[in-house]
Amino acid sequence: MKGKKLLSILMTTVMLSAVATGCSKPAPTTTTPSGGANDTKTGEVVKLVYARGQDTTGATNEIVKQFNEAHKGKIEVTFAEMPSDSGKQHDQYVTVFNGKGTDYDVFDADVIWPAEFAQAGYALPLDKFVEKDGINMKDYMKGPVQALTFKGQLWGMPKFIDAGLLFYRKDLVTNVPATWDDLIAQAKSLKGNTGSGYSYIMQAKQYEGLVCNATEFISAYGGKVVDGDGNITINSPETKKGLEVMKSIVKSDFVPNNVTTFTEPESDTAFIEGKAAFLRNWPYQWAESQDASKSKVVDKVGVAPLPKGSVASAAALGGWVTMINKYSKHPNEAWEFLKFMTGADGQKITAVKGGSAPTLLSVYNDSEVQKNPLFGNKDFVAGLSAAVSRPVSPIYPKLSDIMQVEISKYLAGSQDVDTTIKNMDTKMKEAVTAAK
């Protein structure tokens, strides 16, 4: 689920797309966001390379086409197609940027990469550009902006969002649970109504999905794994409460008795077969539920924000952001393209043609965007708006591995919650220190 992509109803799988190849360019020069082309001769067209993975929707081609037409004779964007696998994309970026390569000027990044790329010196901070153009980052959903903010600076712009949501059976659920206590009470009463013996499904296997579910519980009760500078803050009463509620659900009799083996596919299959009243999953579940060729719950499913804890509703953030290569020879022009793509016009194209959920809240008010039933659903938008970033850290993969192992031990009953939190705190701090 690392960087999991949003699928919307009646639209194809959303990944990232590109069709041209990049070429190596000379070493970069230092610029500020106040000028135009940096060392380009007057009248010469500035050529930029934009890197992203495969996109079968055509949205990316349309964005580039419209931008190039608007900047004809001045800026021309082409693509470098990246592997569709996000891990391979990451490794290819690292190889290029570690050598101070200028193959790509603008690039899409999984929401868990910005802190790593910022710390490594691969990305250009964008605060001066944002300030110069008067962009209000509060117009964007909070979660993606948090994922892009590291050590007090902004390292990219939000593009599209994915987040955990609550799916429920409208034919079984009268009142959508507002809190985790409400959900637990309803799940207990509904467990005999689906023929499966259980009523709630989540992802509790030892893998990245477990971190997402745990992050939601921890955040809902006011806990945080790291602070804005990457310091470990997981050892708190709030974290303890969140994990205790999570375990009470995992060990309850209203979830499958093998829920610790469940990932997204197992969750999806059980829900569309009508075996549960509630499911925590990603937005793609909506389309799966409406597919009459395999779903037994067509037209019976509603969507809502995940329940609140003692502090808030919290959904693990997924999706993609866009950044500028620190070594780009044309950062000002790169910013112009980035600004267009992640602004209202670009996000509308991505939503209407590509089926990806916008991060710019105003785009949801557009009548064309609202033709997608999900994007016109206020509960769906509220659920995405509740997204919180997974730990923003340059060593996120290591922190994730630690959380997976220790939380799995806790859920299995081989250690208590205090030992679990102490182990995570100690191991994470050691990992941070070792990475310095």
* Tens-digit pLDDT profile for residues 137-169: 999 999 999 999 999 999 999 999 999 999 999
The three-class DSSP label of residue 79 is strand
Give the DSSP letter string of 325-363.
BTT-S-HHHHHHHHHHHHSHHHHHHHHHTT-PEESBGGG
Strand order of the β-sheet with 165-169 is: 200-201, 278-281, 165-169, 301-304
Contact 317, 389 (CB under 8 A): yes
Higher pLDDT, 415 or 83: 415
Percent of the chain residues topping a pLDDT of 90: 84
Is the pLDDT at 418 greater than 80, yes or no?
yes
Reduce the DSSP state of residue 29 to 3 states and report it. Answer: coil
Q: Round to whole Å and give the CA distance between 39 and 61.
A: 28
More confident call, 34 vs 352: 352
Query: What's the pLDDT band for 200 if we cut at 50, 70, 90?
Result: very high
Q: Nearest to residue 346, comparing CAs of 371, 372, 331, 366?
A: 366
What b/e string do you get for 88-107 counting C-beta neighbours within 10 Å, with b at 16 or more? ebbebbeebbeeebbbbbbb
Q: What is the mean pLDDT of residues 267-275?
A: 96
Residue 87: per-residue pLDDT: 87
Q: Are strands 278-281 and 301-304 parallel, antiparallel or unpaired?
A: unpaired
Q: What is the pLDDT of residue 41?
A: 61
> For position 34, what pLDDT does the model report?
40
Q: Rounded to whole angstroms, how far apart are CA atoms 4 and 21?
A: 25
pLDDT at residue number 7: 36
Domains belonging to the chain, first-starting first, are: 46-162+319-388 (3.40.190.10), 163-316+392-435 (3.40.190.10)
**Of 149, 104, 154, 164, which Cα lies nearest the Cα of 131?**
154
Write down the pLDDT at residue 147: 96
CA 332 from centroid of its chain's CA atoms = 27
Question: Per-residue pLDDT for 9 more than 60?
Answer: no
83 has pLDDT over 90: no
What predicted TM-score, i.e. pTM, was given to this entire model? 0.84
What average pLDDT does the structure give for the chain?
A: 90
pLDDT at 57: 82
Residue 25, pLDDT > 50, answer: no
Task: Say yes or no to pLDDT of 56 above 80.
Answer: no
Q: Note the pLDDT tens digit of each residue in 227-240.
A: 988 899 999 999 99
Identify the bridge partners of residue 317 per DSSP, sorted by sequence position.
163
